[in-house]
Amino acid sequence: MSKIKYSETADGIRLLCVNTEKFKTNYINIDLFTPLGEDLPAQYVLTSLLSHISGNYPTVKSFNSKIESLYGASFDSSIGNYGDNMRMSFFLELPDDRFALYGEKPSEEAVDFLTDVLLNPLCSDGKFREEAAEREIRFALEDLEAKKNDKRAYALSRLKQLMCENEKYGVDSEWLENEVRSLTPERLFAAYKKLLSEAQIVVTACGSLNEAMLYEKFTAFANKIENRNPAELTSEFVTGADEIRYFSESMKMMNQSKLVIGLRSGMENESDDYFAYRIMTDVFGGGPYSRLFANVREKLGLCYYCGARLIKQKGIIFIQSGIENENYQKALDEITEQLNVMKNGEFTDEELEASKRALADAYCGVEDSPSGVCSFFASQCFAKSLVNGEEEAKALLKVTREDVIKCAQKTVIDSVYLLSGEDSNE
Amino acid sequence: MNKIKEIKNELLNERYFEIDHFSGLKIFVYPKENYSSAYAIFGTKYGSIDNCFKSGENGEYITVPEGIAHFLEHKLFESEERGAFERYSETGASANAYTSFDKTCYLFSCTGNFSASLEILLDFVTSPYFTPETVRKEQGIIGQEIKMTNDEPSWASLFTLLGAMYKNHPVSIDIAGTTQSISKITADLLYDCYNAFYNLNNMALAVAGNVNVDEVLAVADKILKTAPDKKIERNFEEEPKEVVSRYAEKHLDVARPLFAIGYKEDVGNTRRTLKQSLESEIMLDIIAGKTSVLYEKMMNSALTNTTFNAEYFEGQGYGAHIFSGESENPDEVRKCIDEEILRLQKDGIDKTEFERIKKKHYGKFIMDFDDVDAVANCLINDYFNGDGLFDGLSVLESITAEDINRRLCEAIDVENSSMSVIKAE
């Protein structure tokens, strides 16, 4: 297992570094976290803007040519929820310096490029350059509007919004689109300044990158940010549900209906019986050995996919399936029945062991790719101590049947959402 | 007797073993030091396009229902006693399978119990068991898979385009078939296809990661039996050089229209060489990559957005350079791409750009070797295409700007393209 080094710069930038010769790739990831709030529309645009142009590389062509010249480096960004918080990520990967053809050090240049992109965007007089800002607002808007193209993801996002309407987590997509539409270069710039000042910043690196070099560069990076004052991150954990809420919407020209169910697991915080909940969700709806796969798909043949996923940062479980409209009640009844099987402890020892073996096996392999190493450790960036994949696997193997039943008994259905096709193409 | 050959690459400091197994199967073992996980993939050169074939000496050509290769992939997981998933649940491996236009592959990844999982893989793929009842049940499940992909705009866009480009070639048929075509599949037909294509001489096994030759051969020697090499003949109707139609559209509820523009290449019944494929990839970066003049122009003029992409699509008897993305004005996008291709065909490419893009492909090639999944998948792909895993590096090195200029003129004819558009009514 690799050795991970943790350090923190004076201005609260967390640095997680795995120094290894195992890979031919160097990977570096910067995460910025803030509480979800009114800046989200601007943050949406910034995620794209900061990864497309910069003060030193003001055109799309010059910016991408720089990245390409680093031996085909990949550079990208993403934005999403982290519980009730926003997580914005910038990641860059490139071949290790030993493959450079002319003795240069592309990896150090890549770190400089990454910090420069965040510190020196294309702006002047307190605003982003107008045409660039407009273009990026258009990109963000088109990206938001196109969310409905992916029916499966769209149905999930609708359920999240409806189920968590009173939590920050349930971001209103209409509000988000409208706010993005009304953004100006000035407001974007103000949000950018606030982001650097208030975000919890976590840097994760894997490869032959030297920790001392990274520490020095990110200390200098932090020093250039004005008024560093990272905001505290919290997430509300709602437990229980008074009664099940049912929602249904329709979409034109759709062949298959999407059923999404949101459950409150009863977790009160991220580490509350986490391993037991992880196993419970997996026996219920994880791999092909799970209750949902074996019954909803294999026994009843109702769908191609039916699975459950635990959102650790919120203590929510989402079940997703694609079904025929007419099978809605049948599928819902069977899923409810399988949840009851979990609550009553009627799952077999073989199913429990299968889940433990599969999850533990997967955890033991998380350190076999540079991006895997970074995402695994980045997910623990706010934990009190860091554990490696094998330690995580050991903790999972300790979970007992009683632990799983206890978790299932606390789990309740909160909301059921159906997205159905208005007509069929077939 | 098994014949073992070691293949090394000094620049990468990597090596793997190529084994001619006594059973007739080609096996590749790629050990990776300091890795915990192993990935194994067992594939047959049989995909959705192989729906008219004859096998053995005296047989006649038979035509089978569309989507049967994919259906067979699903059904092999079942057996008379315990299905493959149930058996894997005892080893902890994560298993899956996929069917493409020209191959079907079964795979697993694991960190422990490697030999036991490999035994399951080799055993279930070589032990077919189909009954009318299990076939019927699967029709429901695959029917839902087909409906799911029919709702995916980018999938619909690709197949609408292929339908507009190809008159006879089965590449235009959806890999999973249609709900109608799979209703014609029977257990007997599945056995016909299985017996023709799941012959070890038509298959390969690739394993990468925390593995060694001895443990792989111990399992292979135990499970696999010598298979006589049966001749397979595939029948493809002749494909005209010209596209079927310049334009086709389909309606789905999308936010803005999706376009796919394909320039059909005249390839007869052949495949492109590795060099031609790499030339095409470099060429597409020069025409429409993120550092191209065209890309910047299309972003700034609001003609399209960051979904804009170009890819080279090729296989036995088909080849096309495809540009896709979202746009309110697909006709204008098509005009811009045509103009840029004509300009480059006339003026030639910029040498500095070419060198930078070549360096990019060199870097991407190297990075692929960190990932055991990618290594094993490439071993299978390259073997079925007649190439070696490390060949790409030397071929890339040999490509010149003149090669790209030549390929640009030979492979793309702006008069011979189709465009598909997916839009709301």
The letter for the amino acid at A270 is E
Q: Which of A223, A257, A286 is the last residue of a domain?
A: A223
Contacts with A365 from chain B: Cβ below 8 Å: 36-37, 109-111
Mean pLDDT of B373-402: 97
Cα(A335)–Cα(A328) distance, rounded to whole angstroms?
11
Do A350 and A266 lie in one domain? The reply is yes
Q: Is A200 exposed, middle or buried (0-12, 13-18, 19+ CB in 10 A)?
A: buried
Same domain, B260 and B207: no
Minimal CA separation from A357 to chain B, in Å: 5
Q: Which of A7-21, B14-28, B195-209, B281-295 has the lowest mean pLDDT?
A: A7-21
DSSP state of A327: G
Same-domain pairing of B392 and B354: yes
- Of B234, B268, B298, the residue at which a domain comes to its end is B234
Does residue A94 sit in the same domain as residue A204?
Answer: yes
Of A70, A148, A426, the CB nearest to B255: A148
A322 and B89: CB-CB below 8 Å?
no
- Could you say which DSSP state residue A308 is in? E
Cβ contacts of B371 on chain A, cutoff 8 Å: 369
pLDDT of residue A424: 46
The partner residue sitting opposite B356, judged by closest CB among A24, A68, A138, is A68
Residue B319: alpha-carbon gap to chain centroid: 13
Are both A295 and A406 inside the same structural domain? yes
Q: Which of A258, A242, A248, A84 is nearest to A169 (CA)?
A: A84
Average pLDDT over residues B395-402: 97
- Residues facing residue A413 across a β-bridge: A263
User: Which among A176, A193, A223 is the end of a domain?
Assistant: A223
Query: Quick check: is A231 in a domain?
Result: no
Residue of B nearest to A75 (CA): B290
- Domain with residue B303: its CATH number is 3.30.830.10
A238 in any annotated domain: no
**Most B-contacting residue of A68, A151, A297, A305 (CB-CB within 10 A), to test interface:** A68
Does the distance separating the beta carbons of B425 and A253 come in below 8 Å? yes
Does the pLDDT at position A1 exceed 80? no
Whether B8 and chain A come into contact, CB under 8 Å, resolves to no
Which tens digits make up the pLDDT trace of A295-305?
Answer: 999 999 899 99
Query: Does some domain include residue A230?
Result: no
Residue B242 lies in a domain: no
Percent of chain B with pLDDT over 90: 94
Count of H-run helices and E-run strands, chain B = 15, 15
Segment 309-348 of chain B within 8 Å of chain A by CB: 326
Question: Which pLDDT belongs to residue B56?
Answer: 77
Question: What does the block give as tokens for A378?
Answer: 């980045």
pLDDT tens-place string over residues A73-93: 999 999 999 999 999 999 999
Partners of B326 on chain A (C-beta within 8 Å) are 142, 146
- Residue A225: per-residue pLDDT: 94
Kindly indicate the confidence band of residue B2, based on its pLDDT and cuts at 50, 70 and 90: very high
CA B385 to chain centre: 11
Both A306 and A174 in one domain: the answer is no
Query: Which range marks the domain in which residue B209 is found?
Result: 3-234
Residues B390 and B416 in one domain: yes
Q: Is residue A208, in this structure, part of any structural domain at all?
A: yes
| Chain B residues touching residue A71 (CB < 8 angstroms) | 359-360, 362-363, 366
Q: Does B151 touch chain A (CB under 8 A)?
A: yes
Which of A223, A258, A290 is the C-terminal boundary of a domain? A223
Q: Is residue B32 part of a domain?
A: yes
Residues of chain B with pLDDT > 70: what percent?
A: 100
pLDDT digits (tens, 9 = 90+) for B264-275: 999 998 999 999
What are the start-end ranges of the E strands in B317-416?
318-326
Point out the residue among B37, B360, B370 whose CB comes nearest to the CB of A24: B370
Q: Is residue B239 part of a domain?
A: no
The answer to whether the CB atoms of B256 and A360 lie below 8 A apart is no
Out of A251, A253, A368, whose CB is closest to B35?
A368
Q: Chain B 218-247, CB below 8 Å of chain A: which residues?
A: none
pLDDT above 90 for A385: no
Q: Do the chains contact at A146 and B209, CB–CB below 8 Å?
A: no
Within a domain: B99: yes
Q: Is the Cβ pair B90, A94 closer than 8 Å?
A: no
Same domain flag for B177 and B290: no
> B196 and B331: one domain?
no
Tell me whether residue B260 is in a domain: yes
Looking at the structure, do residues A328 and A392 belong to the same domain, yes or no? Answer: yes
List CB contacts of A243: < 8 A, sequence separation 6 or more: none
Indicate whether B240 belongs to any domain.
Answer: no
> Are B184 and B272 members of one domain?
no
Q: Is residue A206 part of a domain?
A: yes
Is B73 assigned a catalytic role? yes
Q: Is A264 helix (H, G, I), strand (E, B) or coil?
A: strand
Task: Report how many Cβ contacts below 8 Å link chain A to chain B.
Answer: 195
List chain A residues with CB under 8 Å of B117: none
Judge if A183 and A300 occupy the same domain: no
Kindly state whether residues A204 and A276 are assigned to the same domain: no
Q: In Å, how far is B272's CA from the nearest CA of chain A?
A: 24
Count of the separate structural domains present in chain B:
2
3-state secondary structure of B30: strand
In chain A, how many domains are there? Answer: 2
- Rounded to 5 degrees, what are φ and ψ at A96? -65, 155
- Domain assignment present for A240: no
Beta strands in B335-403, from DSSP E residues, in sequence order: none
How far is the C-alpha of B132 from the C-alpha of B76, rounded, in Å? 14
* Listed residue (A5, A43, A19, A322) closest to A155, CA to CA: A322
Phi first, then psi: what are they for B405, rounded to 5°?
Answer: -60, -40
| Residues of chain B neighbouring A152 (CB-CB closer than 8 A) | 148
| CATH code at position A294 | 3.30.830.10
Q: What is the pLDDT of residues B144-166, one digit of tens each?
A: 899 999 999 999 999 999 999 99
* Co-location of B147 and B39 in the same domain: yes
Domain assignment present for A302: yes
| Residue A425's pLDDT band (cuts 50, 70, 90) | very low
Query: Is the domain of B283 the same as that of B137?
Result: no
Whether B57 has a pLDDT exceeding 80, the answer reads no
DSSP B369: G
Residue from the list B37, B302, B367 with its beta carbon closest to the beta carbon of A25: B367
Answer whether B386 touches A (CB < 8 Å).
no
Clarify whether residues A219 and A249 are in a common domain: no
Which one of A65, A254, A288 has the shortest CB-CB distance to B85? A288
pTM of the model: 0.95
B84 pLDDT above the threshold of 70: yes
Residues B230 and B275 in one domain: no
Which site among A48, A67, A142 would you substitute to test the B interface, given the most B Cβ atoms closer than 10 Å to its Cβ? A142
Residue A277 within a domain: yes
> What is the pLDDT at residue B1?
86
Within 8 A of A360 by CB-CB distance, chain B residues are 92
pLDDT (tens digit per residue) in A126-159: 899 999 999 999 999 999 999 999 999 999 999 9
- The answer to whether residue B382 scores a pLDDT higher than 80 is yes
Q: How far is B264 from chain A (nearest CA, A)?
A: 27
Q: Are residues A167 and A310 in the same domain?
A: no
Residues B230 and B367 reside in one and the same domain: no
| Domain co-membership, A284 together with A207 | no
Q: Tell me the nearest-neighbour CA distance from B139 into chain A, angstroms.
A: 9
Q: Is it the case that residue B59 has pLDDT exceeding 90?
A: no
- Which tokens sit at B74? 């699903």
Residues B221, B264, single domain; the answer is no
Host H or E run for residue A401 = helix A401-410
Averaged over B94-104, what is the pLDDT?
97
Q: Are A143 and A283 in the same domain? A: no
CA distances from A103 to A106, A124, B176, B360 (A): 9, 37, 50, 16
Residues in chain B closer than 8 A to A297 (CB atoms): 141
CB contact (8 A) between residue B147 and residue A71: no
Same domain, B172 and B284: no
Average pLDDT, chain A: 94
**DSSP secondary structure letter of residue A51:** T
Domain final position from B199, B234, B269: B234
DSSP string, B185-246: --HHHHHHHHHHH--GGGEEEEEEES--HHHHHHHHHHH--------EEE--PPPPSS-S-S
Per-residue pLDDT, A423: 54
Contact A280, A309 (CB under 8 A): no
Q: Is B108 exposed, middle or buried (0-12, 13-18, 19+ CB in 10 A)?
A: buried
* Chain A residues with beta carbon closer than 8 angstroms to that of B37: 364-365, 368
Q: Which of B73, B78, B265, B281 is an active site residue?
A: B73
Q: Closest partner residue to A426 among B36, B93, B179, by Cβ?
A: B179
Q: Single out the residue in B204, B234, B264 at which a domain terminates.
A: B234
pLDDT the model gives residue A12: 84
pLDDT number for residue B51: 93
Residue B241 lies in a domain: no
| Whether pLDDT at A101 is above 80 | yes
pLDDT score of B123: 97
B39 lies in a domain?
yes
Rounded to whole angstroms, the Cα distance separating B246 from B267 reads: 19
Domain extent, residue A214, equals: 4-223
User: Is any Cβ of chain A less than 8 angstroms from the Cβ of B82?
Assistant: no
pLDDT digits (tens, 9 = 90+) for A263-277: 999 999 998 999 999
